[in-house]
Amino acid sequence: MRLRMILLMAVTALTAACGGVEPDTSAAAADDGPAKPVALWGAEGGFVTATMNVLRPPRVVVYGDGLVIVDASKQMTLTDAETGEVVARMEKYLGGQPPTAKPKPGAPSVTDVPDTVLGVRGKDGKMLEVRVPALEQLAAFYPKQLVDAKKLMEGLATRAAAEGADYAATRVRVVAEGVESAEGKPSPWPKGVPEPSGVVDPVWQKDVEGAAVSAITKAVPAGRKYDRSLFRTSSGTIFTLSWRYLLPHEQSSASPMPGRKG
């Protein structure tokens, strides 16, 4: 229900900003259910490790109930009015943009950097996403609206870092990556954490809950998630282990967030 209200508020705010008439509220209805992102900022691709490519969360996700999660590690809650304003501004910035933006002629060639992904859930309930190659490096060659959308999300990230609390979830995504040569002494495989099975090419991943969450978060402290944490399986194979907490929309309905209903 709150997601529907946020979308209604976003439509009202956007219409007022544009000097329009009262919106048709029936068009803003969205299905209630599990937590849904209403705005996001993330990255895709680029020259990163296979582990980071699998684990990399969105930089910022805003949910319909006002929850904001940054880097799957910090969280804060916006008011309904603040959430509606964020959605309205993102709709304004991203409306009319192509699925993949292209820089203006004359832009220099930039390789091996991630594409910026900006998204907003429209009044029809569908998520609109725009991918912007090398936005940070080529900001002057893209429409100002895309730069402004990224700045809006950056502001939320900065605020969450200063005011927010640590984020945790009941489920974790575990990633194991094989190593050809090990520098340092591998630790025994964490008890309770599933060992890789089948072909690991280039990584193995599994979402876990319960005792496995406590085991992996204890074995690989949060500050070392992307370091070379070496572990040896019962068969003697050595892997690096990494993990991150799953986000609300990645969680199963049977595994609600701590302190949150449904």
| Cα distance between residue 199 and residue 204, in whole Å | 8
Residue 14 confidence (pLDDT) above 50: no
pTM score > 0.85 for this model?
A: no
Phi first, then psi: what are they for 106, rounded to 5°? 95, -5
Q: Which residue, among 70, 88, 129, 73, has the nearest Cα to 6 in the 3D structure?
A: 88
Q: Which residue, among 227, 245, 239, 243, has the nearest Cα to 197 in the 3D structure?
A: 239
Neighbours of 93 (CB within 10 A): 22
pLDDT digits 0-9 by tens, 215-230? 999 999 875 544 568 9
Report helix angle 144-163 to 80-94, nearest 10. 150
| Cα distance between residue 253 and residue 33, in whole Å | 9
Residue 249 confidence (pLDDT) above 50: yes
Query: Whose structure tokens read 């700045």?
Result: 151
Phi first, then psi: what are they for 39, rounded to 5°? -160, 150
What's the mean pLDDT in 238-248? 93
pLDDT digits 0-9 by tens, 70-104? 999 999 999 999 999 999 999 999 999 999 999 99
CB 37 within 8 A of CB 127: yes
Give, in order, the Cα–Cα distances in Å from 41 to each of 58, 68, 140.
Answer: 6, 11, 19
Residue 2 confidence (pLDDT) above 90: no
Looking at residue 184, the DSSP 8-state letter turns out to be S
pLDDT digits 0-9 by tens, 95-109? 999 999 999 999 999
Buried b (16+ CB within 10 A) or exposed e, 170-198: bbbbbbbbeeeeeeeebeebbeebeebee
What the block records as the tokens of 249 is: 């929309």
The per-residue pLDDT for 32 is 53
The per-residue pLDDT for 63 is 97
pLDDT digits 0-9 by tens, 139-180? 999 999 999 999 999 999 999 999 999 999 999 999 999 887
User: Which tops the pLDDT comparison, 261 or 91?
Assistant: 91
H/E element, 144: helix 144-163
pLDDT digits 0-9 by tens, 40-69? 999 999 888 888 888 999 999 999 999 999
Half-sphere exposure of 168 (CA within 13 A, CB side): 10
The per-residue pLDDT for 223 is 57
The per-residue pLDDT for 19 is 47
pLDDT digits 0-9 by tens, 115-140? 999 999 999 999 999 999 999 999 99
The per-residue pLDDT for 199 is 77
pLDDT digits 0-9 by tens, 192-215? 999 998 778 889 999 999 999 999
